[in-house]
Amino acid sequence: MSKGDVIIDARDIVKRYYIGQPNELEILHGINLTVREGEFVAIVGASGSGKSTLMNIVGVLDKPTEGEYILDDVDVMEARDDELSEIRNKKIGFVFQTYNLISRTSAVKNVELPMMYARVPGGKRKKRARELMELVEMEDRMHHTPDELSGGQKQRVAIARAMANDPALILADEPTGALDSKTGRRVMDIFHRLHEERGKTIVLITHSPELAEECERILTLSDGLFIGERKGSGHAPVR
């Protein structure tokens, strides 16, 4: 795959709820989204604009009612349940606002989890998990449980977990939403590093214009349609 290949190719995405019922609701009205490899894209929008619905569809957690969606050469519309699981496992790395670490297991086990589902052998899994923990500068807290970590630390573990199977796309949903500005900054710096040093494709969903400004391309979503597209700086603000 050469630089510039299309990772996300979504056309005419429509999402409706309560289909056939009197309260039928159309959230997305025909979204077109193309993201190329190595891009750092922000999707901004106020709450209720359809951000979460779009993220669920892009993240293959949900299927659109209508439209076409090719993710890294795989046709999502045609995939069965198990195939969707595999797509999520291998092609997407999720970073959630609320971290979503499994609370009873250690940080490093959380990072191993996607590799476990991908049936990566134990030794290789442990080695890779350690490398990723080093990448997010969490190697000294590998065996702590999430309860023993601060919010910023948890989110760094979550980013390491998202990187576990070296996915084609990192999908971050308000990754700094629950963090103070200082720790939020540190998390954003990691994203920039992944983008610049490793060439990762990142889609960041946020309602914060400042964060969006750090990305290369900013898409504005309003009432289920993209209403604007502009270029961003593509790197962290210089202080």
Instruction: Please report how close the Cβ of residue 79 comes to another protein at its closest, in angstroms.
Output: 12
Instruction: Please report how close the Cβ of residue 62 comes to another protein at its closest, in angstroms.
Output: 5
Query: What is the spatial distance between Cα 186 and Cα 89, in angstroms, rounded to a whole number?
Result: 26
Instruction: Please report how close the Cβ of residue 176 comes to another protein at its closest, in angstroms.
Output: 19
Nearer to another protein, 115 or 212 (CB): 115
Nearer to another protein, 144 or 192 (CB): 144
Instruction: Please report how close the Cβ of residue 81 comes to another protein at its closest, in angstroms.
Output: 6
Give the closest residue to 13 by CA, choosing from 233, 226, 236: 226
| CA-CA-CA-CA dihedral for 105, 204, 97, 81, to nearest 10 | -60
In terms of DSSP H, where are the helices of 136-227?
Answer: 151-162, 181-198, 209-213
Instruction: Please report how close the Cβ of residue 131 comes to another protein at its closest, in angstroms.
Output: 18
Nearer to another protein, 158 or 215 (CB): 158
User: For residue 199, how many C-alpha atoms fall within 13 Å in the half-sphere facing its CB?
Assistant: 9
Nearer to another protein, 119 or 182 (CB): 119
For residue 151, how far is the Cα from the chain centroid?
18
CA distances to 134, 142, 173, 178 from 151, rounded to whole Å, are 18, 15, 15, 8
| Ramachandran region, residue 38 (left: φ > 0; alpha: ψ -120 to 50; beta: rest) | left
Instruction: Please report how close the Cβ of residue 7 comes to another protein at its closest, in angstroms.
Output: 18
Query: What is the spatial distance between Cα 139 and Cα 133, in angstroms, rounded to a whole number?
Result: 5
Nearer to another protein, 100 or 222 (CB): 100
Tokens 């597209």 correspond to: 229
Applying CB under 8 A, the residues found at the interface with another protein are 56, 59, 61-62, 81-82, 85-86, 88-90, 94, 96, 100-105, 113-114, 116-119, 121-122, 161, 165
SS3 149: coil
Nearer to another protein, 90 or 128 (CB): 90
